[in-house]
Structure 1
Amino acid sequence: MNLLPLIIAFLGAAFGAYFAVLKSRAERLWLERYETLSSITLSANTLVHFHEANQTETMGVTVATATEMQQLRGAVTKTAPELRDSIARLQLLFPAHDAQRVVQAYQDLNSAMVDLYNRTEEDYITEHFSDIAKQSKALLESTINLGQKRLFLAGFRFFGMRRNDPPPPTPL
């Protein structure tokens, strides 16, 4: 008779620990997904800005100083490998049907960049920079859409809410 409360307490503690581990795993996965989407978004935004600046410069209009363009070139050099790694991480963290649009947008962007950078500088024309800027924007939009779709719903599940529940009140 004295063992029954002890057994019940032990089972309660075991269930509590089990659910805490499950919530911790879900939280970690949500955070990794968020960081991956954030990395892709920032990289795509850098590419958009750089190639739009190059596009206007080929038309004879300067929108960025030489120092800004040099900083952008350095950022783009770092962005390409980071973007590739983030896309690979995205494919690990999201189901294939969800990541498909982002991966396709990245492949389109990559082929446009390869096409541009395999030309001589004399062959650079406005349309090439415009094409890369458009592909970068498409990657940016598809990443944002995936983030809004998946992370928003995951946040509802994470905080124990259902889709039709009102959002929690914000603190003042």
Structure 2
Amino acid sequence: MKKLSGSVLLMLFFVVVAVAGAAALAIGGINVVQRAVGAHTQEARVAAEERSPEPKTAAQGTESLPTERASGAQGSEWANDQVNAWLQAHGAADVAELAEPYRQVQAWYSSAPGELALLADSATLSDVEELEQIAEDVLQRLAAKPQLQSVSVSTSDGKLTAEAHR
């Protein structure tokens, strides 16, 4: 009987060690995902800055993630207002609630008055027609906003870009 209880204790010890190891791997995996998302977001910012003809300043605006609305800079506030109006026109509160391909928009900013730039997921969108569809949809749904003159949509890797103008 004592031999049996010792075996049970030993088995219980191994189960606890296995669960602790799995938890450590899960936490490490979360950190890896968070770093990858951060790198992807940084990649999108760098790609957008490379396409911009002149360097952006804080007054001209910076992109923001849908869950992180930028504040302080006039251009960012304007870009946020435009995207919020677009979401409302779709009856959505967040980009994640939109249909494809619109839900692939990850960030936005305004590099100049009247110009809205959207960055879309390069891993999901591989066709310029989808980017054109997004740009034209934004202009169409915001037809009552004459201050919006152009919308450009680029993939986060900077390989594809589409524009729509009034």
Report the TM-score, using the length of structure 1 for normalisation.
0.37
* Structure with greater strand share of residues: 2
Question: RCO greater where, 1 or 2, for CA within 8 Å and sep 6 or more?
Answer: 1
